[in-house]
Structure 1
Amino acid sequence: MDTNIRNYMNQNKEELYQTIQELVQIKTIVGNEHEGQNYMKHKYEEIGLEIHEFGPDYEEISKHEAFIDSGIPFSGRKNLIGIYHGKNREKAPSLTLHGHMDVVSPDPIGGWTVDPWGGKIIGNKLYGRGSADMKSGLVANWFALKTLIDLGYPIPGDVQLHCVIEEEAGGGGGALACFEEGYITDGFISTEPHNLNVTISHAGIMYFRVKVKGKTAHAGLAHEGVNAISKMYKVFHALEELNKWRSENITFELYEQGSGQAVHLNLGALHAGDWVSTVPGEAVLECRIGFIPGESRKEIKKLIHDTISQAAAHDEWLTNNPPVIEWFGWSTEPWYQDPHHPFVKTFINTSENILNHQVNIIGRASGNDARFTQYYNKAGLCFGPIGENMHGPDENVDLYSVLEVANVYANFIIDWTENHKM
C-alpha cells in the first residue's frame, strides 16, 4: 500500500465526487450516450491519454457467437478508449479498466424522492440514475490512473480505460466490439457496483417470448370466442412452477453468495388484447431465464420448449393451436473465471491490503461485460463500489466506497504491471 496514493486521493476527493456528479447530470439512457462520451473524452485528454473512438460495425460484430442484438441502431454512437502507454510495455503486462456510459430509464419518475438527473449528495451518498450503475465506476477508473500520472509513477505496462455503450442492452456494440477491434489486454476489470466484492462468475441469461393465439369475438358474444389470456395463464402457471422448482433445486454457491438465489425465471411482461369489448385474440408473454455453469443454452431452450409443450398438451385449444416460442435479446452462456489465476490472486491481495479486511469472491445471477473475456482467453473480474437501488428509484452510490475503489485500482495498476512478466 502506497501512502502517497491515499494522501493524494484524500486531498483531491472533491474532484472525484464532482466529476461523478457532473456525469450523472448528463442523460445517457442507452442509445443516447454521445454527450456523456464527449464528457469523458475531455477527462481522458486532460491526463494525456491517447484517444481512440470508433462506432461498431453491425455486419462484422453480429457474426460473433456472443453478440446480442439490442435493436438500437449503432449510427452516431461511439465507444471511447483512452490509452496510457507503459514505460516497459514490451515486457510488462497490460490492464483494462472498463465501464459503460449507458443507463436505464429512470421512469416512473414518481417513485423518486430526488431528481434522477440531479446528482444530489446527501451525507455520503450521491443520488441519481447511473450513480452506482455505473458512472461512479467509470470515474473511479479515470481517477485511479490520473492519480498515478499526477504523482509521476513510472507505470510499466499499458493501461486502457474503456468507456462503452449499451452494456444495459447486452454489450454487443460496446465491450464485445472493443475486443473485436483489438482493444485487448492481459487483464480486464469492470467497475460494476459489486459492493467491494470480487465477482468472477455470472449466470447464463436468455430472453424468450411466448405467443398464444385465441379467437376474437364481441364481448356480447364472448362465448363464441377463445380468450387468449386464459389460455396464456396455463403457460404462465407452468413457467411459474418451473421457476419454483429450479429455485429450490438448482444451486451454485457463488451466485447464492452474491445474489441470494442461483437461478431465476422472470415472467417480465404480458401483453394481450386491444379493446375492452373484444375477446383477446392473442397474448404475448416475455421472460428472462438464468442458468448456471454446467447448463447450456441448448439445454435451457429444450427445457422451456418441453415445459410449454406439456402445458399445452392438457388443453384441447392449445394442442390444436400450439404456443409459439421466440428467443430474442440477451443470449449468453455462463461466465466463470478461475479464482486461482494470478490476475485474480494479485487483485485479491492488493484489495485486501488497501481495504484492510477480507474481500469476498462471489458470483452474480445478473450479467456484465466481463463475460466477453472468456472468448479471448484473458482474465477478467468485476469489482466496484457500494450502491443501492440500481435500476430503481433513488439509485445512489456510497462516495467513500468509490474513493476506496479508486485507491485499490491505483495500487493494483502498479502491483499488476510491475510485479508480473508476460
Structure 2
Amino acid sequence: MALTVIEQRALDALDEDGLIKTFRELLRMPDITGQEAEAQHWLAGQMHAFGLDVDMWTIDVAELQRQAGFPGMEVDRSQHEAVGLVGTWQGNGEAGRRLIFNGHIDVVPEGDRAQWSHDPWGAEREGDLIYGRGACDMKGGLIAALYAIKAIKDSGLALAGSLMLQSVIGEEDGGLGTFATLLRGHTGDAAIVCEPTELKLIPAQAGALTFQVRVSGKSAHACVRLEGVSAVEKYLDIHRVLLQLERARNSNVTHPLLGKFDLPYPLSVGRVQAGNWSSSVPDELIFEGRIGVAMGESCQAVREQFERTLRDLADADPWLREHPLEIEWTGGQFESGEIPQDHPLVQCCDACLQDLTGQKPAIEGITAGTDLRQLVNLGAIPSLLLGPGDVRVAHMPDEHVHITEVLTAARAYILIALRFLQAAV
C-alpha cells in the first residue's frame, strides 16, 4: 500500500539530526542496572521539552518485592534511587486506542575496557555506526520511539488515541521497572517493545530463570587429598547431569518459532567459585547460571524439574545424600510470553514495514527473556519486539548500532502509530 499524504507528512517531520544527537547524549551516561536515576531524570526533561505529559516517580523497591509476581532482581538498589518514568501524548480527546512504546534505559556493565577499541561511554561515530554500551541494547530503540512521537506532534496531526513511552529500569536483571509501571496503572491496547531485533517482528519470547547452587565438600591438606571430599569433583558430576537435562528439554521442540533454533531453551552455568586455598581440598563450590523456560511452561514446573534432577543425583551419591545441595532461585525470573503470529498488531507492523522498506519483515521468536512477557501476561497487553540493532553484539565489547537502522525504526514507529491509532488531520 502506498503511503498517504498524512503519513508522509509525519515521516517528513522526523528530526533525524536531533534524534542522533540525543541518542549520543544518552549513550554517554553510564546508567548501569541499579544506577539509572540520572538518565531517567535527563530523559524526563526531554519528554517535558517535547510537550509530553510526564509521570516520574520514585519506585518503592521493598514494597514492590512484596507483590505477587515480582520478577526478581540481582543488583543492590539501596544506594541509588529507583525511578519510574512514563511520557504520554494524549491525542484527540480521551477516546481512541492507546499504543505503548516500552524500552529499558538500563545497560549491563562495560566489562574489560581493554577489549574495547572504542570508549564504551564515548558514543563514538564511525561512518554509519555508533559505538557504546547500550547502543544496541537498547537506547537506540528507546530514543527512536521518543522522536517518533515528537515527529507526529510536530507534523500537526491529531491522533484518535494516545501514545505512551515507558522508559523502564532494571530490565537486565529481571524487569522491576515494567512491573512497577504496570502496577502504577500505565496500560494500553498494544505495545511495541523496542528491543534490538534487526527490525524483525518478534511476537514470542522464551523465558529464563537464574539459579545458585551450593555444593559442600570436606577440606583436607592437598598432600592427603583422599582424606577430604572435593566439592569440585562433585560439581563435575552435577555438570554432566545438567547437560543431560538440557538435551532432554530441547529434544522435541515443536513451537513454530522457537523450534527453529538449535538450542531454544539453553541451560548455562555462568559462574563457578570454589575453595579458599590452593593447597587445600575445596570444601565448598558455588555455581550460578540460567535455565530456559519453554513456551507455555510455568516457571514453577521448571524449578521443580531442575531441583528433582539434582535431588536424584544426590540420592545416588553417599556424600551428597548426607550433605544436600542448597538451591536458590536468584535474580531475574522470566516467564515465556507470546501473541499469535496472525494477531492484528503483528499484521499492522508487518504491513507498515513492507510499505516503508519494500521488504516483508521476518517473523521470529527469541530465546532470551524480555519485558514482553510482563506486558502480555501481567498487563494483558498484546505486544511484540521491534527495534534497531543486532542482539548478537549486545553485552559485547564494541557494542554498536547502525544509524540508518535507528532512523528506519523511528519511521516504522511513526507509521505503526498512525495506522494503529488512525490519525486524522
**Smaller-chain TM-score range?**
over 0.9
Aligned: 1:135 with 2:139: yes
Trace 1:173-252 onto structure 2 (pairs within 5 A): 174-252=177-255
Shift, 1:308, TM fit:
1.5
Identity level (%):
30
Tell me, yes or no, if the aligned pair for 1:66 and 1:372 is still in contact at 8 Å: no
Shift, 1:38, TM fit:
2.1
Trace 1:76-91 onto structure 2 (pairs within 5 A): 76-90=81-95
Aligned: 1:302 with 2:307: no
- How many residue pairs end up in the alignment? 415
Q: 1:162 maps to which residue? A: 166
Distance in structure 2 (CA, Å) of the matches to 1:32 and 1:234: 39
The amino acid across from 1:6 in the alignment is L
Distance in structure 1 (CA, Å) of the matches to 2:345 and 2:256: 22
Question: Over the residues paired in the alignment, what is the CA RMSD in angstroms?
Answer: 1.9
Q: 2:326 maps to which residue? A: 324
Distance in structure 1 (CA, Å) of the matches to 2:301 and 2:63: 28
Shift, 1:323, TM fit:
1.9
Which one of 3, 8, 16 corresponds to residue 3 of structure 1? 8
Tell me the SS of whatever aligns to 1:362: strand
Which one of 23, 26, 29 corresponds to residue 26 of structure 2? 23
Q: 2:285 maps to which residue? A: 283
Distance in structure 2 (CA, Å) of the matches to 1:36 and 1:256: 38
Distance in structure 2 (CA, Å) of the matches to 1:251 and 1:321: 39
Distance in structure 2 (CA, Å) of the matches to 1:256 and 1:112: 35
Q: 1:115 maps to which residue? A: 119
Distance in structure 2 (CA, Å) of the matches to 1:168 and 1:412: 27
Q: Spell out, residue by residue over 1:94-126, the C-alpha distance to the aligned partner (whole angstroms, 9 max, x if none).
A: 111111110000111121111111111112111
Tell me the SS of whatever aligns to 1:95: strand
Distance in structure 2 (CA, Å) of the matches to 1:289 and 1:402: 32
The amino acid across from 2:284 in the alignment is E
Tell me, yes or no, if the aligned pair for 1:251 and 1:262 is still in contact at 8 Å: no
Which one of 395, 402, 405 corresponds to residue 398 of structure 1? 402
Tell me the SS of whatever aligns to 1:307: helix
Q: Spell out, residue by residue over 1:136-176, the C-alpha distance to the aligned partner (whole angstroms, 9 max, x if none).
A: 1110011101111111111221111111111101112x011
Shift, 1:67, TM fit:
2.7
Distance in structure 2 (CA, Å) of the matches to 1:416 and 1:250: 34
Tell me the SS of whatever aligns to 2:224: helix
Q: 2:369 maps to which residue? A: 367
Distance in structure 2 (CA, Å) of the matches to 1:386 and 1:282: 41
Shift, 1:132, TM fit:
0.8
Distance in structure 1 (CA, Å) of the matches to 2:358 and 2:263: 29
Distance in structure 2 (CA, Å) of the matches to 1:45 and 1:222: 66
The amino acid across from 1:96 in the alignment is I
Distance in structure 2 (CA, Å) of the matches to 1:187 and 1:302: 33
Distance in structure 1 (CA, Å) of the matches to 2:259 and 2:76: 33
Tell me, yes or no, if the aligned pair for 2:33 and 2:75 is still in contact at 8 Å: no
Shift, 1:66, TM fit:
4.4
CA spacing shift, 1:178–1:56, aligned 2, 3 Å: same
Q: 2:381 maps to which residue? A: 378
Tell me the SS of whatever aligns to 2:161: coil
Distance in structure 1 (CA, Å) of the matches to 2:253 and 2:303: 16
Tell me, yes or no, if the aligned pair for 2:13 and 2:152 is still in contact at 8 Å: no
Distance in structure 2 (CA, Å) of the matches to 1:249 and 1:267: 22
Shift, 1:251, TM fit:
4.5
Trace 1:30-69 onto structure 2 (pairs within 5 A): 30-62=33-65, 63-69=67-73
Tell me the SS of whatever aligns to 2:12: helix
Distance in structure 2 (CA, Å) of the matches to 1:286 and 1:249: 26
Tell me, yes or no, if the aligned pair for 2:214 and 2:326 is still in contact at 8 Å: yes
Tell me the SS of whatever aligns to 2:250: helix
Tell me the SS of whatever aligns to 1:53: strand
Shift, 1:71, TM fit:
4.4
Shift, 1:28, TM fit:
0.5
Shift, 1:188, TM fit:
1.2
Structure 2 unaligned residues grouped into runs of 5+: none
Shift, 1:415, TM fit:
0.7
Which one of 285, 292, 295 corresponds to residue 294 of structure 2? 292
The amino acid across from 1:249 in the alignment is N
The amino acid across from 1:316 in the alignment is P
Distance in structure 2 (CA, Å) of the matches to 1:293 and 1:246: 12
Shift, 1:346, TM fit:
1.9
CA spacing shift, 1:71–1:391, aligned 2, 3 Å: closer
Distance in structure 1 (CA, Å) of the matches to 2:76 and 2:192: 26
